[in-house]
Structure 1
Amino acid sequence: MKFGIFIDLQLPRPWNEGDETRLFQEALEQVELADRLGIDYVWAQEHHFLEEYCHSSAPEVFLAACTQRTKKIRLAHGIVAMSPKFNHPARIAERLATLDILSGGRLDWGTGESGSRMELEGFGVDFVDKRSMWAEAVSEVVKMMCMNPYPGFQGKYFSMPHRNIVPKPMQKPHPPIWAACSNRDNVQLAARLGMGALTFAFVNAEEAKFWVDTYYDKFRENCTPIGQSINPNIAMLTGFMCHEDMDTAISRGQEGAQFFAYGLGHYWRDGTHVPGQTNLWDDFKHRPKSVLERMERERKKAGMGGIGTPQQLIENFKALEDAGVDQLILLQQSGNYSHEHICQSMELFAKEVLPQFRERDIKNEKLKLEKLEPFIEKARNNIEILKTMTEIPAVDAYPLVWNQKGTPDQQGVPDRRPGMTAFWQMQVGGNRSKK
């Protein structure tokens, strides 16, 4: 089982001048530390308008900084919001390829639909369209990264003419693709499309086995990849705070993990939010008010298996490994965790816990691929063969088009738009020879 860390960039109120700057700089230091300690992945979220819960609205910029501060750790989008109203598919392809090059081929491409009203309506996305928007965009971004040139597309949610999207990614045919999964149907969809499954939900070992079995059963049964490569993996999230003393680990880590779950509920399930006004942290601290609410918060301890002593973590993580989880993502920054405690926790984890899994991971990965090989080969045969353009139309620059259309228009009014020389002078302020 591999391990990753999760960059959520949570910032509970009250906010003081410089807090966001500090938060970003500390997060970069945590990624650098994870790289030195031998942690496998860092996952950076993309969310918008989710005050306090997630200030990671430009993960491509954050990951770009990480490319220059790290050497081995894989840099992963967890996720890119794929709706063309959030991000134009061509811009996604360009950014992914650039990040892959800057990182030396260490990028993973997590994809998602987004699901909160704050985000979807903020970008004008109808909830009922989000799944089909995601599928259309993922399919076309794959082609943009693989084809030379991309033949263009006339779709329901976006269209564009033929263009060659540059640069191309270092990893061929493209970085590994993942899909965010919040339920059984999504897990099966990821498996059917040959994508890794990112389950950003707290689960215990028994629940994890159900998700893992669901994923791999569907992968073996029916996989028609959406991409040009296959990524059979399932990753899960856990709260995280490691300390030699159990009570200290709990006092440092439990509240932050509960705030993460509370924020999810607020924005996705039962919250009422006033932008710029709602104090999520204050609401969290003053709830639960009833016995039933307290019981519900206590019930949500499936994700607390990563909060404790090294020995407790070894036992709890081994159960998830035995359940077949391929990667465990550590929620190392949430709520009001202190940077010092986060770093201490990561260092102790790397010293005492990580070595217990490293050797088995190499062996288990090899065995897994051997067992899956017939099904992977079957899925490879279902990969779409991309059809290259036999004739590529030329695209004239605007002045050439204007000159070609320099005759009077249908109303008899002469075309007064500038010719080549005037256009050059307007654009660069220079003189262009008429020879």
Structure 2
Amino acid sequence: MEWEKLLCSERLGDKHYEPKPNRSIFVQDHDRIVFSAPFRRLANKTQVQPLYEHDHVHHRLIHSVEVSSVGRSLAMRIGNWLEETHRIADGESNSLANIVQAACVAHDIGNPPFGHSGEAAMGDWFAEKFDDAKGVMAELEERHRLEFIEFEGNAQGFRIVTRLEMYRNEGGMRLSKATLGAFTKYPVTSADRESIVGKGTAPYVGVKKFGVFRSEIELFKEAADSLGLPQEVDQAGNWWRRHPLVFIVEAADDICYNIVDLEDAFTTGELPFDTVRDLLHEAANNPNRDVSGLNQAEHIALLRALSINVAVESCVAAFKANYDAIMTGTFSASLTDAGPMAPTFAKMNALSRDQVFTARRKTELEVSGRRVIGNVMSGVLPVFEDLAKAKWDQEKLSGHNRQLVRALDLDLRSVADAEQALHALADFTSGMTDRYAVRVARMLTGI
């Protein structure tokens, strides 16, 4: 892969756009994302702790902002090294930083309410309805059902930024192709991924999940061709090697959720002070600091900041050590796992898995959230059933279903077949905030 292509500033859906001399197109990408409604809704979406009243616990929007800050720092350090070693032109480190920052603020934009449990709840609801094979659910070919059954926030995010938001069906936000490349962690559709991986181990980190719906694959292909991403074409299925900046975006996310989740767990009382302090002290390379004047929260905050800095240095070292493999598309790990801080990250993952993600309050709310999502989707499905019976003519909806469309502000534009109907249902459900989902569920069930 070549940096000249990888930093492509051409807009998706707007080839004739000319950059302004005093404002980088990549900065514009960032601004378009942060001023969008889907980004604002992240302020009321679960990060780890669902529906928490504590002001200092992270939600998706704050998490995304922090990831973008860490990503920018990572990209600047790596960009400076690339300039010093003459791998990119002078000044291009700013472009790297701006691209990564934009991709980072968008990285969770497709996540449904209630976090990853919300993704699972949507997928399970689709699976159950496909098993019943009634109405609109029976109209979709079986080979195209997997992307709904394994609903993926990454693919929904790509759909939002390239189709749904701003210039609908005409490039979406019309972001630069470089930012789209840096955003796409899993450059493969669900059907191709299933053909390649099946039930076995993914041969490449970029096909561990799927990241593009069938409905947007041509948009991704256009971006990938301009960026020069290597495409793998064989009988099993088609997929692409990751854009090198994906690894930086992913590392920024890994750093933040590993370290900051521990701080949140201390704040909510799910982990004791001593446990979090000792692990963050190790992560920060055992700093010798006078903390006698700090309270416990201030002590944890200091160690969190020091830990993030060490983690950034670890990921920069991993990028440098694996640079050739990253540029040929053969590197198949994360920077957090490939750097000197990897053993500490493993401890953080284990602690979160065993004690934070299984906490009683979180588990109870995830069970409740699953029911909420099921009630919402079951309550809205009749609108699309009715629309299918009316041969996709919105004017022929029943009076009650027209009421539902108005009450929920359902967007039925472009819905002309079963696949588009199910995407519209997923667009609506995944776009809800946690609290709005609860309110809609109550309205639809009459509870």
Q: TM-score range by the shorter chain?
A: under 0.3
Q: Normalising by structure 1, report the TM-score.
A: 0.28
The structure where strand makes up a greater share of residues is 1
The structure where helix makes up a greater share of residues is 2
Q: Which of the pair has more CA radius of gyration?
A: 1
